Amino acid sequence: MELYFMGTNAGVPSLERNVTSLALRLLDERRSFWLFDCGEGTQHQILRSPLKLSKLECIFITHLHGDHLFGLPGLLSSRAYQGGDTPLALYGPPGLKKYVNTSLELSESRINYKLEIVEHEGGCLFEDATFRVESAKLDHRIASYGYRVIEKDLPGKLDTELLKKYGITPGPLYGKLKRGESILTPEGKHLQPADVLGQVKKGRVVTILGDTRPCPAEIPLAEGADALVHEATFLHDLAETAYTYHHSTARQAAEAAKEAGAKSLYLTHFSSRYKYEDQLQRLKQEAEEVFPSSRLAREHELYPILRSGE
């Protein structure tokens, strides 16, 4: 599991940074990646990345401001021409379906894969055997949502030497134990999974928030997260400006991470006024004063999300 940023600027692109888009690479877990927001130019950023649109499985849109979704119609169309024929699920606030369908219809864009558009107002959006995705509304000028991606715990490693002593060889019985089912040994002994499985591997949590002012909803979304992605549009000397425009400062992002007990914080969505490295470092330093495990999101860099103890 890795974070890969393709846009870290707020509002409009600059020469240094593109507008918002972030990939969660799940190659080991699902052989796919998920996309969070799709600002203008995202498909160009993907061309410069190790990502392939044919591997895109889900897109989560935080809100309907242009810097977070103007790249969506082009990306959906291009995916059809880049080997993307598997189903794609698109999640976002009410109005997303109208925007996408109108754009594709008027441009006569054709896609050769199943596109499912799920409009939501928070709650549990997705769940399967490996992941669950939850969402909650934040505090922005329009409806803006945060997403909490929860990896389910993995069973511990089988003690194959012990299984040999019980006369159990690799095969279907191994699978039953890994699924949490008991089995019967050749000697008629009931063997429980806990008897032969090592310590459970705790699943990871990644929280990605849309644009927001500080609000109560962001804390449960980020609780204990291994990685929290939070906007840091301004330095705290512009806290009043941030409040007026429904955004957060770097310090406020760090305060949220600290209160939620997150393990690491990735700052993004920087105002275009912060063009130079020394200005960006001020954002980082401001956050570190409150939450030491803060870092600046850099475009086209991979950030591994490690399990505890790795």
Ligand-binding site membership of 246 (annotated): no
Ligand-binding site membership of 67 (annotated): yes
Q: What is the 3-state secondary structure (H, E, C) of the chain?
A: CEEEEEECECCCCCCCCCECEEEEEEHHHHCEEEEEEECCCHHHHHHCCCCCHHHEEEEECCCCCHHHHCCHHHHHHHHHHCCCCCCEEEEECCCHHHHHHHHHHHCCCCCCCCEEEEECCCEEEEECCCEEEEEEECCCCCCCEEEEEEECCECCCECHHHHHHCCCCCCHHHHHHHCCCCEECCCCCEECHHHHECCCECCCEEEEECCCCCCCCHHHHHCCCCEEEEECCECHHHHHHHHHCCCCEHHHHHHHHHHHCCCCEEEECECCCCCCHHHHHHHHHHHHCCCCCEEECCECCEEECCCCCC
Catalytic: which of 37, 67, 139, 278? 67
Ligand-binding site membership of 28 (annotated): no
| Active-site residue flag, 67 | yes
Ligand-binding site membership of 44 (annotated): no
Ligand-binding site membership of 236 (annotated): no
Binding positions for Zn(2+): 63, 65, 67-68, 140, 211, 269
Binding positions: 63, 65, 67-68, 140, 211, 269
Positions annotated as catalytic residues are 67
